[in-house]
Amino acid sequence: MDRFARNDELVFLPLGGSGEIGMNFNAYGFGPPDDRQWIIVDCGVLFGREGNSPGVDVLMPDVRYLADQRENILGIIATHAHEDHIGAIAHLWPSLRCPVYATPFTARLIAGKLEEAGLGSKVRAKEIPVGGSLTLGPFQMDFISITHSILEPNLLAIRTPLGTVAHTGDWKIDPNPMLGEATDTAALEKLGDEGVLALVCDSTNALVPGSSGSEADVRESLTALIGTLKGRVAVTGFASNVARLDTIARAARAHGRHIALVGRSMQKMVSAARECGYLKDFPTILDETEAAELPRHKVLFLCTGSQGEPRAALARIATDNHPHVHLSEGDTVIFSSRVIPGNELSIFEMQNQLAARGINLLTAEDHFVHVSGHPCRDELAQMYRWIRPHIAVPVHGEMRHQVAHAALARELQVPQALVPENGQMFRLAPGRAELIDEVPSGRVHLDGRVLVAEGEGLAKDRRAMAFAGLLVVSLVVDGKGRVAGEPVVLGEGMPEPVEEAVLRAVEQAIGQNKSRDPDALAENVRRAARRAAHDSWGKKPVTRVLVTEI
């Protein structure tokens, strides 16, 4: 593995996760430019914003550049089980068709997704033990335990004949993570001593000074807080933060409350964790109906839906539409989570619904009930001191985070810092790192069950229709190109007088039409209809003209 040909190169190619927090997809290539072998580190989704892409919940990277050379893809390696790192595997696997590797907890959750997608018989997520290794072609990888807001986060030390890349995945430095492994600082220091070419690193909190804080402190604070509460208590947070679920369950037990898990992903995460040998001392879980029968001060509900997701448990509880869990005046909801940018409106709407019903709200804004899972600036600095890379490659952030992260790396004497964008291919070695190519990239929408490239206009059409409705004009023309019968105008999502104005304009346009070409007629009518809508209403609906020739 220490041998390489003269024209071999080590390249880095992000297809997702640069310029956005989500949809992580990073590829490393090794070999001559015309025959590279690839590994893919993480393959995640980004959750849609309803306003930008109506009807689309999930976005993922456009991977056609790699799909076209899939016989050279050696594997997908997942650093950890967050959706922005594994959520696209089942959707994109049919185009990539390569083996998938992860540590046991992550592998179990990936397997569940593959199963749900009907791919269970075609691909298995292969388990790498915690702290284990994997060799794929020229890439020799060690999984180094770090800490984050989920079980089994890994930093990958990727050794190649042209140098070593440390790919952090998501991480923080939590001296006391409460569940799972602590950061393997000895391994990180040793890696730094060996010499690291590039550190490809999480940028999420690169603008936040200080340190992210420890789960142990949240445990202390939440336990004290829950002890002060009367009535029913519901706590919402990220289901994948298993240490937090454990914290909340123990806090409940400490104050004589029984717990119930409300929402499918809570149950899924707890059972995946238990199957992997975690949560051995987790309190007995009641089902929702049992819990509902307990005295109010004897129960705590652990609920999904901290981001205001409309179908999740808490949104239904907030409007009192949950079949089993009912809160009322004097009860409390704790948001043991942060507001993910973009979700403010739905979260605040849900909080307003709860507040209107006299339910107390405790959030990270006014109580110490959450810590971030990503490294703040002091933690980043510590990682650079351990790893001492020649090249800093900030990923997993919006551009402002990546740029601030690169500046910090330079301050810390890293000789070179790159700020990659999705689709940019960087040669990391040999020689000084540089941008060598831009490959097709972008986003793909999961629209219902179909993957659609972002540029294909569906989202644009939907936005246009959401803004100004849909106008359809139907015409019948005879063999001589003359309009036979009355035109029909159908307006969806617009005030009635607009439809009438459009009908008059359509009739006028037909009267003035001199062309015998049905396409020209259709275009004249379309323009007249749109203009009439605009004149009478101030908006231009999506307009379609159907011409039936008889």
- Identify residues 203-232 at the interface with Zn ion (CB under 5 A): none
Cα 53 to Cα 23, 349, 460, 461: the distances in Å are: 16, 20, 8, 10
Residue 475: both structure tokens together: 């015409």
Q: Closer CB to Zn ion, residue 170 or residue 215?
A: 170
Indicate which single residue of 82, 167, 257, 401 sits in contact with Zn ion (rule: CB under 5 A). Answer: 82
Dmax (CA) for the chain in angstroms is 86
Q: Closer CB to Zn ion, residue 204 or residue 424?
A: 204
CB of 328 to Zn ion, least distance (A): 36
**CA 98/CA 322 separation, integer angstroms:** 42
Within a 10 A sphere around the Cβ of 280, how many other Cβ atoms? 6
CA nearest neighbour of 39 among 177, 141, 122, 131: 141
CA angle 108, 114, 115 (to 5 degrees): 85
Site mask for Zn ion (CB under 5 A), range 352-381, x = bound:
------------------------------
Helix (H) or strand (E) holding 506: helix 496-512
- Identify residues 152-181 at the interface with Zn ion (CB under 5 A): 170
Q: Closer CB to Zn ion, residue 84 or residue 447?
A: 84
CB of 87 to Zn ion, least distance (A): 10
User: How many residues form the binding site for Zn ion (CB under 5 A)?
Assistant: 3
Q: Closer CB to Zn ion, residue 170 or residue 184?
A: 170
Indicate which single residue of 20, 62, 84, 331 sits in contact with Zn ion (rule: CB under 5 A). Answer: 84
CB of 352 to Zn ion, least distance (A): 29
Q: Closer CB to Zn ion, residue 80 or residue 257?
A: 80
Compute the residue count for the chain: 550
CB of 75 to Zn ion, least distance (A): 20
CB of 364 to Zn ion, least distance (A): 18
Q: Which residues contact 395 (CB under 8 A, 6 or more apart)?
A: 14, 17, 18, 24, 26, 200, 201, 202, 203, 402, 420
Cα 325 to Cα 229, 258, 354, 397: the distances in Å are: 18, 14, 13, 37
CB of 190 to Zn ion, least distance (A): 24
CB of 269 to Zn ion, least distance (A): 14
Q: Closer CB to Zn ion, residue 84 or residue 309?
A: 84
CA nearest neighbour of 270 among 291, 286, 254: 286
Which of the stretches 84-92, 118-126, 157-165, 468-476 binds Zn ion when contact is defined by CB under 5 A?
A: 84-92
Q: Closer CB to Zn ion, residue 84 or residue 215?
A: 84
Which runs of consecutive H residues, i.e. helices, occur in 33-131?
64-67, 83-86, 89-96, 104-116
Site mask for Zn ion (CB under 5 A), range 112-151, x = bound:
----------------------------------------
CB of 112 to Zn ion, least distance (A): 18
Positions touching Zn ion (CB under 5 A) are 82, 84, 170
